[in-house]
Structure 1
Amino acid sequence: MMSQEQNDLITRTGPKAPCGRLMRSYWQPAALVDELEGARPIRPVRLLGENLVLFRDENGRYGLIDRHCAHRGADLAFGRLEHGGLRCAFHGWLFDATGQCIETPAEPKDSKLCQNIRQRSYPVVEKSGILWAYLGEGAPPAFPELDCFVAPGTHTFAFKGHMACNWLQALEVGIDPAHASYLHRFFEDEDTSTAYGKQFRGASAGSDLPMTKILREYDRPIINVEHTEYGLRLIALREIDEERTHVRVTNQLFPHGFVIPMSTEMTITQWHVPVDDENCYWYAIFTSYTNPVDKQKMRDQRLELYELPDYVSRKNRSNDYGFDPHEQQTATYTGMGSDINVHDQWAVESMGAIQDRTKEHLGQSDKAIVQYRRLLRQEIEKVQGGEKPMLFLDETNARSIQGPATMDGIGPTRGWETYWMEVDVKRRRGAPWTAPVPKEIADNVHRLTAAE
């Protein structure tokens, strides 16, 4: 049983909170690149409990600075982009992308006031359709060589969605292999050839069995959890018969991400980013190992649910997530439609803004949740002690974190350990871009194959 103090430790991410200090050790998704397209590339951003404004100046440089002007606190999200920076609409003070004040128009011509005025600012980089910000102290870490960062822009697509709850419960649904057999249960299976862009609607690798059928009929997975250099690897096994077993390999990417298979063609790398302690955004990069991503189709599919400009779900607490009792009896387990993002949103928001973990009762199927929370506490303690946490990488070791491997397929009941790795390696070697084979996977495939 968890105490309230322990729950606060792993959920609170403000500037002075221990978990907040941990989160500030990493690059955080701040916005989609798409959000700064158009005639006025300025967006208010609330990230880790801080109110900021993100903009792109006339030279294409990105700036992320405090939202309230250093002069008298007016809202810079309503400012004007001109003369190399963001100008406050109140008195015309102008700030460049580094936060430096470069003009104070109402002051005397010979005034040196602006030289000593600086908005707090944070570095921003563009990567795979997402603008990343570093809110920590000192030099930021290097990015790991994840597939979603290595693949060319033609083969990735980024999107986001809002959840009205704490980041941790939003993350934990993604590292819970057991829930999919219930929360995402469909009573009938669709034609898997029409599943492009939809999770859990295609066929598992090596078969024509729809994932929906497997999840529905085999609801007691054996869950294995392994510790890795990047977090955790989860392997869920659903034995179909003596000869065949469904194998699903997913990964927890520390601190608040996961990497999961979407289909035989794509993976999803997703982060659950704290807006504040009671709201978060999920940011996802979909990576294709075969054809270029149909970005327009993927975007249109998701905009059926999410409203711009804030990427808030049309199905939410205010309308009972579209709940239909007839549908619950005949079509889906939740009665909330076919979009699994709605299912997840209901599950995590129904726990409350911050889940009260002092009242929960965990079972064996929650072993990944237990191990992740232990890992999270361990890394919080490291940062409190002045150490760098796991996955805080420099340029010399960033390439050591590759992949990671994912898989969803039907393999042999005896020999599944080799099977899933071989499927992953084959997909990587057949990709039209150079998809690195993680050394650990390559070594294990060679060792296990040689032993047979």
Structure 2
Amino acid sequence: MMSAEQNARITRITADQPAGKLLRQYWQPVALSVELDGPRPIRPVELLGQHFVIFRDESGTLGMLDRDCPHRNADLAFGRLEDGGLRCPFHGWLFDVNGDCLQTPAEPKGSTLCKRIKQKSYPVIEKSGIIFAFPGEGEPPAFPDLDCFIAPDNYVFAFKGLMECNWLQALEVGIDPAHASFLHRFFEDDEAESSYGRQFRATSANSTMPMTRVLREFDCPDITVDTTDYGLQLIATRAMSEENTHVRVTNVLFPQAFVIPLSGEMTITQWHVPVNDTSCYWYAIFTSFSEPVDKDHMREQRLKLYTLPDYRPRVGRANDYGFDPGEQASKTYTGMGDDINVHDQWAVESQGPIQDRTREHLGQTDKGIIAYRRMLNQAIDQVERGEKPLMVLNTTQAAAIQGPATMDGVGPASNTEDYWKDVDARRRSAAPWRQAAVQI
């Protein structure tokens, strides 16, 4: 059982809180690259309870600044892109992507005020369709050589969605292998041709059985959790017969992401990024091994569920997540439609803005969540001692973290480890963009 103080320690993310200090040690997704497309590439961003503005200047260079103008604190998200920077409409003060003040036009001729003004700026970089920012102090860590970062642009697709709850409960649903057999249970299986880009709709590797049927008929997985140099690896096996076992390998990428299989050819790397204490965005990179991603199709699928410009869900708390008791009786376990993002949204938002973990009772299937919370607390302790926590990497360390391996397949009941490693290695070795197996 967790105390209220312990719960606050791992959930609260402002700069003065333990978890907030930890998360500021890492690069954080702040926007999709497509959000800065168009004639006015400026976006307000709330991240970790702080307010920023991101923009591309006239040369296309990315920048992220504190959102309030240092003159009279007007909102720079309404600024003008001109003369090599972002200009505040209030008095015309102009700032470049580094936060340097270029002009204070209303000041008297010969004024040196501009030279003494500096708006706080933050490192930003684009990776696989996502803009990452480093909100902390000092040198940012290096990016690991994950599949989602080294695959070429036409083999990745990025998207995001808003959740109205604390980041930690949103993340924890993704590191829980047992919930899929219930929360995402379908009483009917779709045709294979309609499975592209949809979670749990394709067939498992080495099988003609749809994942939906596997999850429905074999709902009691045996879960093992191993500590890795990047976080955790979870292996869930479901005995199907004396000869065959379903194997699903997923990963926790510390501090706040997971890597899971979408299908035999595609994986999902997904971050849960705090907007503030009571809301978060999930950012996902879909990585294909076998062929380029159909980005238009993937985006069209997801925009049926999310509204622009803020990627808010169309189905959510305001309309009871689309709940239909007739559907619950005959079609889906939740009665909330056929998109698992809606199911997950209900599960984590129904726990409250910040889950009260003093009232929960964990079981054996929660061993991944228990292991992750232990790792999270250890990392918070390290930051408080002035030490570098897990996954704050230098260049050499980052190059050594690859993959990670993940898959979903039906293999022999014995030697499941050899089976899933072989499936993963063969997929990697056949990938056009990576013609060599990666060490697992």
* TM superposition score category, shorter chain reference: over 0.9
The answer to whether 1:60 aligns with 2:64 is no
How far 1:101 moved relative to its partner?
Answer: 1.1
How far 1:16 moved relative to its partner?
Answer: 1.2
1:286 is matched with 286
Q: State how many pairs are aligned.
A: 440
1:369 counterpart letter in structure 2: I
Q: Percent identity?
A: 66
TM-score calculated relative to the size of structure 2: 0.99
- RMSD between aligned alpha carbons? 0.8
How far 1:382 moved relative to its partner?
Answer: 0.4
Contact 2:36 2:55 in 1 (8 A): yes
2:257 is matched with 257
How far 1:180 moved relative to its partner?
Answer: 0.2
Specify the SS of the correspondent of 2:69. Answer: coil
Distance in 2 between the 1:277 and 1:221 partners?
33
2:357 is matched with 357
Distance in 2 between the 1:420 and 1:160 partners?
29
Residues 91-111 of structure 1: per-residue CA shift (max 9 Å, x gap): 111111011111111101211
Distance in 2 between the 1:424 and 1:343 partners?
28
How far 1:438 moved relative to its partner?
Answer: 3.9
Matches within 5 A, 1:179-190: 179-190=179-190
1:102 is matched with 102
TM-score calculated relative to the size of structure 1: 0.97
Contact 1:151 1:435 in 2 (8 A): no
How far 1:437 moved relative to its partner?
Answer: 3.7
Residues 368-424 of structure 1: per-residue CA shift (max 9 Å, x gap): 000100000000000110111111111122111000000100000011110000000
Residues 233-266 of structure 1: per-residue CA shift (max 9 Å, x gap): 0000000011000000000000000000000010
The answer to whether 1:429 aligns with 2:435 is no
Contact 1:85 1:97 in 2 (8 A): yes
1:303 is matched with 303
Distance in 2 between the 1:270 and 1:87 partners?
34
Specify the SS of the correspondent of 1:422. Answer: helix
Residues 175-226 of structure 1: per-residue CA shift (max 9 Å, x gap): 0000000000000111123200101000000010000000001111000000
Contact 2:426 2:437 in 1 (8 A): no
* Structure 1 outlier segments of 4+, above 3 Å: 435-438
Residues 68-120 of structure 1: per-residue CA shift (max 9 Å, x gap): 11000111111100001111111111111011111111101211101111111
Matches within 5 A, 1:100-249: 100-249=100-249
How far 1:435 moved relative to its partner?
Answer: 6.1
Distance in 2 between the 1:199 and 1:232 partners?
21
How far 1:436 moved relative to its partner?
Answer: 5.8
Residues 119-141 of structure 1: per-residue CA shift (max 9 Å, x gap): 11101001100000001111101
Distance in 2 between the 1:390 and 1:144 partners?
12
Distance in 2 between the 1:242 and 1:109 partners?
86
2:119 counterpart letter in structure 1: Q
Residues 42-81 of structure 1: per-residue CA shift (max 9 Å, x gap): 0000001100101100011111111111000111111100
Distance in 2 between the 1:317 and 1:190 partners?
27
Matches within 5 A, 1:54-93: 54-93=54-93
2:269 is matched with 269
How far 1:39 moved relative to its partner?
Answer: 0.4
Residues 13-63 of structure 1: per-residue CA shift (max 9 Å, x gap): 111111111101110001000000000000000001100101100011111
1:151 counterpart letter in structure 2: A
